[in-house]
Structure formats: C-alpha cells, structure tokens
Amino acid sequence: MDEYDIENHPDLMDPDWRRHAEKEAWVDLRRNRGRAKWRKGLTTAAVVVVVVAGAGVGFYVWGKSTAEQSTDADVGAPASVAVATTEAAPTELPDEGHVDLTRPFEGTPAQNWAEGIAGLTVPAAAKVGSFSAKQVGQAEDQVKQAIAVAQFDPDTVDRHNPAKYIGLLAPDERPDARANPQSFVIYLADGYHLLPVSPRMTGSMTVKPGKAGELLIHATYVVAYAFDPGEHPVDGPADLEPFVRVDADYAVRSGSHWRASSRGLWVDKFDPYFTSVACGKDDRLTPAFSDRDYAATSLSPEPGRFDPNKPMPTEDNCHGTPG
C-alpha cells in the first residue's frame, strides 16, 4: 500500500473502529464545551478536528505533546528535547492544553518574559526636577526592591510575613502596612505552593517630580505565577497559572520639607487585577484548580490583563473595580 494513501489504511476501513473513534471524539468535545463556564476572562481552547478524506473519521486533538502524538513509525525514536521558544507569545491564556510542569509558561503570554524582578524595565537614572541623577537612581532602586519583596520574596508571598516589606517604607507609612498588608503585597493562599520555577514578569517604571522634596514613581507590570497542582487534575495553563496585573504609584520623600519620620518610601496606590484565580480565599492568590465548581459572571477579555502597555482593566475577576 502507498505510504501516503492514508484513506485506504486497514484501520480506517474497519467500520467498528470508525464508529468507536467518532463516538470518542464527540464525547470529548461535549465534555470540554462545558469546561469554561466557571472561569473568568479566559479563552476557550480551540478544538481541532482532522477529517481524513474518504474515511469520515474525526480525530480529537488538544494539548498533546509531540511524544503523545507519535505514530507507530516513531516508536523507539528518542524523545525530543524541549528548548526555549523564540516565537511570539500568545495574547491569551489557554484554558486547555498540555502543561510541562518544568516549563509551565510555555504557550502562555508569559513565555518570553524575564524571570522575577529582571522583567521590570527601569529607566536610566537622570536628573528629574531638583533631584540629581544619583538621587533618582537611589529612588528607583527603593521602588524596585519594594516590588521584588511584594511579589517574589518567599517570606512575604508564601509565609505571609510582611516585615521585610514594611521595613522598606517611611516610618509614618508603616502602621498602615502592618494593619493592611495585603493592600501592599501578594499573599499565596494557605496550603498552595508554587512550582520550583521562577515567576515571570513584564513591566516598566516612570519617574516625575512631585511636590518639593518628592519624587513620584509609577510602576505598571504583570506577574505570572505557576502553582504546583499536586494531585489536582488540570486541563491547561489557566488552571494553575494566575496572572496579576498591578498599577502602583510610589513617592520617595526627602529633605527638610519633610519631617524625619515622613522621609522615605510611600505607597500612594497599589491596584491589582487577577486573571485565572479562584476567589473567596481571603483575598489571597489562589489557583483556579482549587475550586472546580466556582462560577462568576463572565467578563469581556481586556488586553491589559497581560500587557502593561495597555489600559488597566476596568474590572477584575473577584472584586469588580480594581483597588
């Protein structure tokens, strides 16, 4: 038989096999059509049906790795080695598909983002108003350190200890941070932990003068986390990878215009937006796989969920209006 004459393959000509394949394809299709009802702002995964000419058989393909899709001719061949992709990242977070837990961000908007705080673009230090380039650089470093501790530091994020973050603030700002730490930092929900993979980040910082002795710094960024699903079943990246978009305003105050206890770093705004999370967990970051039955009003996808260069989304998944 001609190796390219697939329509006459004996398996495809077997009527019992064809009926079984069609039944399995449609059962899976119906099952997965109902999956995204409880998720917020996620893209329903595409269903690809390959129709074999003359055979009338549909093969259901979704999220399979190369090894899983191998043919009999590939048996015994060495498995392909995963390499970092240089392709353009998707603009939406897949609801369904294969997830490599060693490289969970592949095939998501975060696949090409840098690890941790390295993903935040900081402008070169230059004179701003009455502040010298050196002073601007020091202020940028203060804000960068605060963001790193708020989003990535294990003591803060995983162990819920805000002491390191609070210590970075001006003395007069610290009481509010102690009373309301989650208005300043990200906490993971109790009992859920990240995979041993660095979160990914993209974003930028801008600087402008404020009042006398005050430098204003705006930061806009998105952080992608990857939770360890353990024994929880997951259908795709959206089940275990929440994305957090943040718009934040900081003020660095110095000089005789301010009393000593007011000098230092202030947080004027910290507005988060959450994508692909389960809500109602004390406002802590919780993966979607933790609540399979969660249902919420669907929100229209907004590009700012994954792109900090776009306007901040007007609603988040859990609380309506950011902030």
For the chain, how many structural domains are there in total? 1
Query: Does residue 209 lie within any of the structural domains?
Result: yes
Q: How far apart, in Å, are the Cα atoms of 307 and each of 186, 224, 273?
A: 19, 12, 12
Residue 192 burial (CB < 10 Å; 0-12/13-18/19+)? buried
Structure token pair of residue 105: 């961000």
- Pairwise CA distance, residues 286 & 188, whole Å: 6
Query: Does residue 93 lie within any of the structural domains?
Result: no
From 291, 194, 184, 305, select the one nearest 241 (Cα to Cα): 194
Query: Does residue 146 lie within any of the structural domains?
Result: yes
Confidence (pTM) = 0.72
The distance from CA 265 to its chain's CA centroid, rounded to whole angstroms, is 27
Query: Does residue 14 lie within any of the structural domains?
Result: no
- Pairwise CA distance, residues 310 & 307, whole Å: 6
The residue segments making up the domain with residue 214 are 114-305
Residue 212 neighbours by CB under 8 Å, 6+ apart: 130, 255, 257
Query: Does residue 244 lie within any of the structural domains?
Result: yes
Per-residue pLDDT of the chain in tens (323 residues, 90 and over written 9): 444 454 455 554 555 545 444 434 433 333 332 233 233 333 333 333 333 333 333 322 223 333 333 333 333 333 333 344 568 999 999 989 999 999 999 999 999 999 999 999 999 999 999 999 999 999 999 999 999 999 999 999 999 999 999 999 999 999 999 999 999 999 999 999 999 999 999 999 999 999 999 999 999 999 999 999 999 999 999 999 999 999 999 999 999 999 999 999 999 999 999 898 887 667 799 999 987 665 444 556 788 999 999 999 876 555 444 44
From 205, 206, 204, 158, select the one nearest 185 (Cα to Cα): 158
Query: Does residue 144 lie within any of the structural domains?
Result: yes
Query: Does residue 29 lie within any of the structural domains?
Result: no
252, 265 contact by CB (below 8 A): yes
- Pairwise CA distance, residues 257 & 212, whole Å: 7
